[in-house]
């Protein structure tokens, strides 16, 4: 990708104005994307992302520059241009890059680039046909397919010199149901840090059917009632509640500034006893996994909350300086266009003891959120919101009828304390998380849980 002597020269020049750390990140990525609407392939695009990011630290401050031109002359020019932001004497730092080998935890069998596009189209067609033929109420189905093969190189003034390959693929099915001038949609988007073999592992028809079933259920659903009530959140993508309500607040980005609601709370009780939260970037082939983070540190299994007590944060290199704490392998970035910062990987609530059935049977009245949509949070106030894609009213311990159009809102300070039942059926869901260092693949996960009371934003008064 780039040879050692070039990188050493670039790092040297990056440090010429007094920086105490410099890093070079090179990315060479091949993307494929296909869109099928109404059973026809409407769009096909492939291409190559290629660029280099140069980062300089001086104590707690950072400088970042990037370019698509990786010639030695240009990289030196960019490094010097970036270094101009500092004006101190050069420190005595010897650059000695030592190439390290990786312990690959994410074995790829079939590189997507070696698979004919026709095979990818065939897979999309299977998804389309299943969803479209599910019911006559399904009026349209859109299927998006993507795969990426990303080769990265990270080297820094501490001597790190490492390369990695990341392969990811995902298929997203969006079904629309129409009736009486109204439309509703259902979505499913499985993905993995895996090659094309992923599609042998999963049953695409099942996912397609689910997307169509959600759309059909929602077109026949009543409006969701408003107000505070208990909410049962199903396993898998339901973990988005944890991601928004607490995950972002545990990222060093906001902790280091002192603006997170979790700043200075290590050792304190922040959740109910039933809640243990883990962020684990090492799980083989999971969507949010990677061997190393985007600063070259091996990813880890980080316990964030243990039985309700705050144990740790997600920390990147720059914030580890600010916080005086060790980095946790959590420095991530979408591409060379972004400086890395602390981000989540696969974040989940660990299994409890209840079964899903017990949780529902024990709920007299409330909302059962079978599938969640996305959400967002303000880490400074802790206020979060997320959408329910498929919801039901629970009455007297039984699932009564589907309801549509609900959003759940609350505050991260108390929501985790309100979790009063945790199931034993942990599962993951795949999502894209947007924040300072771009849009990243993350897994959210949890078993079925119940929140004692949460504000449900619907369109109908509570009965």
Partner 1 sequence: MDIKELVDRLFEYGKKQGFEDMEVYIHGNKKLDIKIFKGEIDKYSLADERGLSFRGIYKGKMGYSYTEKLDKDSIKTLVTDAMDNALNIDSDDEEFIFKGSKNYKEVKSFNKELENISTKEKINFVKELEKEAFALDKRVVAVDYCFYGEETVYSRIVNTKGLDLENNSNIAYSYISVVVKDGDDVKTSGKYIITNDFSKFHVKSLAKEAVDEAISMLGADSIESGEYTTILRNDVAANILEAFVPIFSAENVQKGLSLLKDKIGKEIANSNITIVDDPYMEGGIASSSFDAEGVSTKYKKVIDNGILKTYLHNLKTAKKDGVESTGNGYKGSYKSPISIAPSNMYIKKGQNSFNKIIEDIEKGILIIDVQGLHSGLNPVSGDFSLSAYGYEIEKGKIKRPINQITIAGNFFDMLKEIEVIADDLKFVLPSGNGFIGSPSLKIKKLSISGK
Within residues 22-81, the interface with partner 1 by CB under 8 A covers: 28, 31, 34, 37-38, 40-51, 60-69, 78, 81
Residue 18 in the binding site for partner 1 (CB under 8 A): no
d(CA 433, CA 456): 23
Query: Would you state the torsion angle of the CA atoms of residues 296, 301, 302, 303, taken in this order, to the nearest 10 degrees?
Result: 180
Residue 121 in the binding site for partner 1 (CB under 8 A): yes
Mode of pairing for the β-strands spanning 160-179 and 449-457: unpaired
> Which of the residues 87 through 116 are near partner 1 (CB under 8 A)?
none
Is the CB of 42 or the CB of 205 nearer to partner 1?
Answer: 42
> Which of the residues 179 through 218 are near partner 1 (CB under 8 A)?
181-185
Task: Find the shortest distance in angstroms from Cβ 155 to partner 1.
Answer: 20
Is the CB of 38 or the CB of 284 nearer to partner 1?
Answer: 38
Residue 359 in the binding site for partner 1 (CB under 8 A): no
Task: Find the shortest distance in angstroms from Cβ 306 to partner 1.
Answer: 25
Site string for partner 1, 315-354 (x = CB under 8 A): ----------------------x-x---------------
Task: Find the shortest distance in angstroms from Cβ 285 to partner 1.
Answer: 26
By CB under 8 A, which span of 103-111, 139-147, 150-158, 264-272 interacts with partner 1? 139-147
> Which of the residues 424 through 443 are near partner 1 (CB under 8 A)?
none
Is the CB of 152 or the CB of 422 nearer to partner 1?
Answer: 152
> Which of the residues 391 through 410 are near partner 1 (CB under 8 A)?
404-407, 409-410
Q: Kindly state the tokens that stand for 2.
A: 């780039």
Residue 386 in the binding site for partner 1 (CB under 8 A): yes
Is the CB of 331 or the CB of 458 nearer to partner 1?
Answer: 458
Residue 159 in the binding site for partner 1 (CB under 8 A): no
Is the CB of 49 or the CB of 420 nearer to partner 1?
Answer: 49
Residue 374 in the binding site for partner 1 (CB under 8 A): yes
What is the rounded radius of gyration, in angstroms, for the C-alpha atoms of the chain?
24
Among 4, 98, 353, 459, binds partner 1 (CB under 8 A): 459
> Which of the residues 408 through 427 are near partner 1 (CB under 8 A)?
409-411
Q: Kindly state the tokens that stand for 267.
A: 């050792």
Task: Find the shortest distance in angstroms from Cβ 13 to partner 1.
Answer: 14
Number of residues near partner 1 (by CB under 8 A): 83
By CB under 8 A, which span of 9-17, 104-112, 178-186, 274-282 interacts with partner 1? 178-186
Among 101, 118, 200, 396, binds partner 1 (CB under 8 A): 118
Task: Find the shortest distance in angstroms from Cβ 121 to partner 1.
Answer: 5
Residue 268 in the binding site for partner 1 (CB under 8 A): no
Is the CB of 66 or the CB of 188 nearer to partner 1?
Answer: 66
Task: Find the shortest distance in angstroms from Cβ 251 to partner 1.
Answer: 13
By CB under 8 A, which span of 117-125, 290-298, 308-316, 438-446 interacts with partner 1? 117-125
What is the SS3 assignment for the chain? CCCHHHHHHHHHHHCCCCCCEEEEEEEEEEEEEEEEECCEEEEEEEEEEEEEEEEEEECCEEEEEEECCCCHHHHHHHHHHHHCCCCCCCCCCCCCCEECCCCCCCCCCCCHHHCCHHHHHHHHHHHHHHHHCCCCCEEEEEEEEEEEEEEEEEEECCCEEEEEEEEEEEEEEEEEEEECCEEEEEEECCEECCCCCHHHHCCHHHHHHHHHHHHHHHHCCEECECEEEEEEECCEHHHHHHHHHHHHHHEHHHHCCCCCCCCCCCCCECCCCCCCEEEECCCCCCCCCCCECCCCCECCEEEEEECCEECCCECCHHHHHHHCCCCCCCEECCCCCCCCEECCCEEEECCCCECHHHHHHCCCEEEEEEEEEEEEECCCCCEEEEEEEEEEEEECCEEEEEEECEEEEEEHHHHHHHEEEEECCCEEEEEEEEECCEEEEEEEEECCEEEEEEEEECCECCC
Nearest C-alpha neighbor of 41 from the set 100, 151, 120, 137: 120
By CB under 8 A, which span of 128-136, 258-266, 298-306, 422-430 interacts with partner 1? 258-266
């Amino acid at each position: 990708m780039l040879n050692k002597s070039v990188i050493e020269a670039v790092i040297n020049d990056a440090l010429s104005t007094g920086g105490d750390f410099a890093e070079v990140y090179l990315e060479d990525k091949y993307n494929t994307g296909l869109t099928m609407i109404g059973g026809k392939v409407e769009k096909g695009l492939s291409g190559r992302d290629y660029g280099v990011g140069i980062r300089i630290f001086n104590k707690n401050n950072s400088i970042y520059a990037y370019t698509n031109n990786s010639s030695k002359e240009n990289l030196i020019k960019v490094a010097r241009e970036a270094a101009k932001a500092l004006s101190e004497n050069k420190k005595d730092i010897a650059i000695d890059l030592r190439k390290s080998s990786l312990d690959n935890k994410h074995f790829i069998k079939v590189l997507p680039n070696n698979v004919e596009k026709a095979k990818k189209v065939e897979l999309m067609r299977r998804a389309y046909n299943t969803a479209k033929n599910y019911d006559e109420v399904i009026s349209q189905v859109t299927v998006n397919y993507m795969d990426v093969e990303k080769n990265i190189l990270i080297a820094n003034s501490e001597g790190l010199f490492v390369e990695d390959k990341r392969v990811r693929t995902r298929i997203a099915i969006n079904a629309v149901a129409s009736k009486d001038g109204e439309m509703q949609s259902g979505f499913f988007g499985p993905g993995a840090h895996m090659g094309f073999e992923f599609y042998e592992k999963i049953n695409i028809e099942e996912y397609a059917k689910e997307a169509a079933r959600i759309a059909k259920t929602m077109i026949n659903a009543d409006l969701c009632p408003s107000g505070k009530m208990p909410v049962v959140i199903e396993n898998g993508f339901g973990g988005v509640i944890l991601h928004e309500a607490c995950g972002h607040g545990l990222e060093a980005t906001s902790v280091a500034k002192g603006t997170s609601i979790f700043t200075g709370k290590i050792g304190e009780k922040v959740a109910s006893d039933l809640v243990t939260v883990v962020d684990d970037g090492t799980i083989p082939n999971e969507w949010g996994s990677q061997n190393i983070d985007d600063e070259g540190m091996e990813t880890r299994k980080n316990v964030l909350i243990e039985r309700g007590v705050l144990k740790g944060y997600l920390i990147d290199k720059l914030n580890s300086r600010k916080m005086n704490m060790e980095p946790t392998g959590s420095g991530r970035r979408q591409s060379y266009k972004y400086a890395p910062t602390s981000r989540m990987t696969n974040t989940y609530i660990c299994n409890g003891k209840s079964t899903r059935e017990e949780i529902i049977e024990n709920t007299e009245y409330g909302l059962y959120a079978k599938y969640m949509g996305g959400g967002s949070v303000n880490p400074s106030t802790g206020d979060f919101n997320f959408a329910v894609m498929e919801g039901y009213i629970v009455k007297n311990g039984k699932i009564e009828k589907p309801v549509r159009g609900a959003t759940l809102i609350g505050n991260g300070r108390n929501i985790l304390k309100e979790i009063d039942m945790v199931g034993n059926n942990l599962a993951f869901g795949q999502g894209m998380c947007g924040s300072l260092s771009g849009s990243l693949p993350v897994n959210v996960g949890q078993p079925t849980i119940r929140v004692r009371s949460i504000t449900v934003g619907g369109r109908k008064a509570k009965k």
